[in-house]
Amino acid sequence: MIDMRIMKKNFKVLFLAVFVAAASCSFTTKKFDDPDKDKLLIDLITYVLQKGHYDPADIDDTFSEGVFEDFIEGLDPIKRYFLASDIVEFSAYKHEIDDQIKNKELTFFNLVHDRFKQRMEEAKDIYVEVLETPFDYSKDEIINVDYDELDYASSKRELKERWRWQLKFSTISSYYDLVEEEKTKLETEEGYTRKSLTEIEKKARGTTETSLKEYFDFTDDLERKDYFAVFLTTVVEEFDPHTNYFAPPDRDRFDLRMSGKLEGIGARLQKRNDYINIVEVISGGPAWRGEHVEVGDIILKVKQADEDEAVSIVGMRLDDAVKLIKGPKGTQVTLTIKRVDGTIEEEVITRDVVELEETYAKSTVIEKEDKKFGLINLPQFYFDMDDYKKRNAASDVKKEIERLKEEGMEGLVLDLRDNGGGSLKTAVDIGGLFIKEGPIVQVASGGSRKEVLKDENDELAWDGPLVILVNELSASASEILAAAMQDYKRAIILGSKQTYGKGTVQNLIDLNQWLRKNDMGDMGALKLTTQKFYRVNGGSTQLEGVKSDVVMPDRYSYIDVGERDYDNPLPYDKIEPAKYEVWDGYIDFDETIKKSKERMEKSEQLALIEQNARWVKVKRDEMNVNLNFDTYSAEIEKRKKESKKFDLIDEYDNKLSYRSLPNEIEMMRQDTTLREKRKRWHKNLAKDIYVEEAVNVLEDLKLSNIRKGKMANIKN
């Protein structure tokens, strides 16, 4: 996310530039012999992309090949609909799509869409027939779930066998759950009548059949325009992964998400292959408050409070899955979650709205022997879109610094872990709290246009030792702030090998504004990448992110998380550095980093975290699943046993004490909920080796005598 005020300013420049270019050729429905809305849309979108995108892609044969592969894969990610003969037929257009886009032809889309609808109708008969016969779980059958490596079925007979494998794979998890449930009931319910394995197997198949019936009920409601929106999204995402097309209802949902008023579990979801992945846990939301899920988890099933059976959402469209997961405040939903390490658990979540207070900066005093340090946790770079002078991340961080100084803090930890970004201006202003003045970030627009955003206020809020904590999920504005403080050598960056790597800016453009006359209805909107961020040293944060000065492993260390995990990301590059002076306040900056690295090499806790990260990577890379029930069950038990040794990670005690600031203690007297939240936060901090090392680094950082004098003046 980025600062909407700066977006609006830059969008005006973009709009004027494109408007001047388009003044003599504004779109009207009369300009087309065929007034078909689809043709108008594709012409309009590609025009705006070419004129407004930061780095517009060449619409050529390579582009055509990308659209070809991604559209077909998007419709049929696990290759259970199309036949190999279909792909051969489609391949005639593999290098023609670019020409069709330019000529407003839809031959490729029409062919693929019509065939897909046909194959889906055929699949309805296949799954019903397959599920009529009990699965034999005594057989050793192995399914490879790396669908990218799977060839399309060469015949309908082979396709049916593929459906059998995939349905058996879908059903075995339900069968396992029911068998385990049966064991529990036999042990705990007196007089319980045992169900036979035949009955349990039949019920498991019934659950799969119900899920598929609901899935096809959803798809039956889809119209041609819905599939065309998917095609348009495929086209625009060839430019970069953050450029998206929003059909009218999707734009409404996007506006709701941006306003933060959507009720549900408080997580952002994304579909990859056939699975619904959690890509962000919203600070302040119910999933975050209850520590129910984490980034990388996969949601397999959804069960409502008033229903007996869970619905599988594997293979379901993202929007349809979201409809099942979200719901009114106060209602409960049970999610079957496949964890990052491959274990499967159920989580009961009470739906709620995001609590705004939990998205704001909060701080704590850390006490170690006779020394006091401050920690400020910043979940996002927030601001009031109507009035920046109202509450924002920069003003709040400044207040927390002042309060921590009153408590006598000798060093500050700024925690940006899991912070996905937000307002660019607040990032610049927060950077200005730690340096006297100077550039914080460079923003490049298309062509050679470049703007240097500076801190022009020579007031310093904190002139003492500073450590910034980051991880792979620290993105956008978080990376800008961390990069600036690293380039100035103002702070030591501690955490993951690199941060998320998103160095681009997007604007949401209403496509209707380009039409002089429109009798075809709402055309939707385009989220367009228009700018790129650069560090003051000239390097981009795109893909590369920010490399920590001291690298500490975590469970994502060997998993692709971030910008590099997307298709078609914009490349890393460099521009000329801005003029800035490296901070001269420390006398042992490099030596402190060296000492920290030496401590990390000797840490048993970090060695265990590293071992866990490697284990998670191995488990995630296992693509062969044995559909023999005994083998399947044994593998689950093996995973549970192996994961037990990593429970020690959460039992760690860093021997630091934490207390809230006086103003918050006063609030807690009236707010018992706040007291419980802070108690939970402090409990988690006490297990946190990253915070422990941040304090060690702060202890090692020594200020020059000049800075010490200035610090004394600041404290007085």
Range(s) of the chain covered by CATH 3.90.226.10 = 356-715
Measured between alpha carbons, how far is 600 from 592 in angstroms, rounded to an integer? 12
- Judged by DSSP in three states, 539 sits in strand
Hey, what are 694's tokens?
A: 């941040």
Q: What are phi and psi of 331, to 5 degrees?
A: -85, 155
User: Per-residue pLDDT for 374 more than 50?
Assistant: yes
Measured between alpha carbons, how far is 605 from 291 in angstroms, rounded to an integer? 22
User: Per-residue pLDDT for 9 more than 70?
Assistant: no
Measured between alpha carbons, how far is 307 from 226 in angstroms, rounded to an integer? 30
- Judged by DSSP in three states, 590 sits in helix
Question: How many of the other CB atoms lie within 10 Å of CB of 405?
Answer: 17
Measured between alpha carbons, how far is 174 from 180 in angstroms, rounded to an integer? 10
User: What is the per-residue pLDDT for 252?
Assistant: 53
User: Per-residue pLDDT for 550 more than 90?
Assistant: yes
Instruction: Name the E strands within 418-510.
Output: 438-445, 450-455, 466-470, 492-495, 504-510
CB of 516 within 8 A of CB of 523?
Answer: no
Mean pLDDT, rounded, for 655-679: 91
Most confident of 215-224, 280-289, 556-565, 687-696: 687-696
User: What is the per-residue pLDDT for 14?
Assistant: 36
Measured between alpha carbons, how far is 421 from 475 in angstroms, rounded to an integer? 5
- Judged by DSSP in three states, 144 sits in strand
Hey, what are 42's tokens?
A: 């594709």
Per cent of the chain over pLDDT 70 is 89
Mean pLDDT, rounded, for 357-365: 89
Residue type, 340: V
Measured between alpha carbons, how far is 528 from 11 in angstroms, rounded to an integer? 10
Average pLDDT, the chain: 87
Per-residue pLDDT band at 116 (split at 50, 70, 90): very high
- In CATH, the number for domain 261-350 is 2.30.42.10
Mean pLDDT, rounded, for 682-690: 96
Q: What is the DSSP string of 262-302?
A: --BSSEEEEEETTEEEEEEE-TTSHHHHTT---TT-EEEEE
**Most distant CA pair in the chain, distance:** 83
User: What is the per-residue pLDDT for 710?
Assistant: 52
User: What is the per-residue pLDDT for 451?
Assistant: 94
Q: Which of 315-324, 334-343, 450-459, 686-695 has the lowest mean pLDDT?
A: 315-324
User: What is the per-residue pLDDT for 22?
Assistant: 32
- Judged by DSSP in three states, 20 sits in helix
User: What is the per-residue pLDDT for 329?
Assistant: 86
Where would I find the H helices in 155-223? 156-188, 197-220
Question: Distances in Å between the alpha carbon of 643 and those of 167, 636, 682, 702?
Answer: 28, 11, 25, 41
User: What is the per-residue pLDDT for 21?
Assistant: 32
Q: Using one digit for the tens of pLDDT, what is the confidence trace for 383-407?
A: 877 777 778 999 999 999 999 999 9
Question: How many of the other CB atoms lie within 10 Å of CB of 228?
Answer: 20
Mean pLDDT, rounded, for 370-377: 97
Measured between alpha carbons, how far is 463 from 484 in angstroms, rounded to an integer? 16
Hey, what are 262's tokens?
A: 């959507």
> Phi-psi category of 255—alpha, beta or left, where left has phi over 0 and alpha has psi -120 to 50?
alpha
User: What is the per-residue pLDDT for 13?
Assistant: 35
User: What is the per-residue pLDDT for 596?
Assistant: 97
Per-residue pLDDT band at 220 (split at 50, 70, 90): confident
Question: Distances in Å between the alpha carbon of 408 and those of 22, 340, 434, 711?
Answer: 60, 41, 17, 12
Mean pLDDT, rounded, for 292-297: 84
Superfamily name and number for 356-715: 2-enoyl-CoA Hydratase; Chain A, domain 1 (3.90.226.10)
Query: Comparing C-alpha atoms, which of 448, 453, 483 is closest to residue 468?
Result: 483
Burial of 598 (0-12, 13-18, 19+ CB in 10 A): exposed
User: What is the per-residue pLDDT for 6?
Assistant: 39
Q: Which of 24-33, 88-97, 313-322 has the lowest mean pLDDT?
A: 24-33
Instruction: Name the E strands within 64-149.
Output: 142-144
User: Per-residue pLDDT for 347 more than 70?
Assistant: yes
Mean pLDDT, rounded, for 694-712: 75
Query: Comparing C-alpha atoms, which of 429, 405, 491 is closest to residue 713?
Result: 405
Q: Using one digit for the tens of pLDDT, what is the confidence trace for 324-345?
A: 888 888 889 999 888 887 778 8
CB of 665 within 8 A of CB of 349?
Answer: no
Range(s) of the chain covered by CATH 2.30.42.10 = 261-350
User: What is the per-residue pLDDT for 217?
Assistant: 84
User: Per-residue pLDDT for 130 more than 90?
Assistant: yes
Q: What are phi and psi of 255, to 5 degrees?
A: -60, -40
Q: Using one digit for the tens of pLDDT, what is the confidence trace for 406-444?
A: 999 999 999 999 999 988 999 999 999 999 999 999 999
Measured between alpha carbons, how far is 226 from 220 in angstroms, rounded to an integer? 11
Hey, what are 502's tokens?
A: 């998103």
Per-residue pLDDT band at 148 (split at 50, 70, 90): confident
Q: Using one digit for the tens of pLDDT, what is the confidence trace for 201-210?
A: 999 999 899 8
- Judged by DSSP in three states, 529 sits in strand
Per-residue pLDDT band at 72 (split at 50, 70, 90): very high
Measured between alpha carbons, how far is 705 from 417 in angstroms, rounded to an integer? 32
Mean pLDDT, rounded, for 532-560: 94
User: Per-residue pLDDT for 698 more than 90?
Assistant: yes
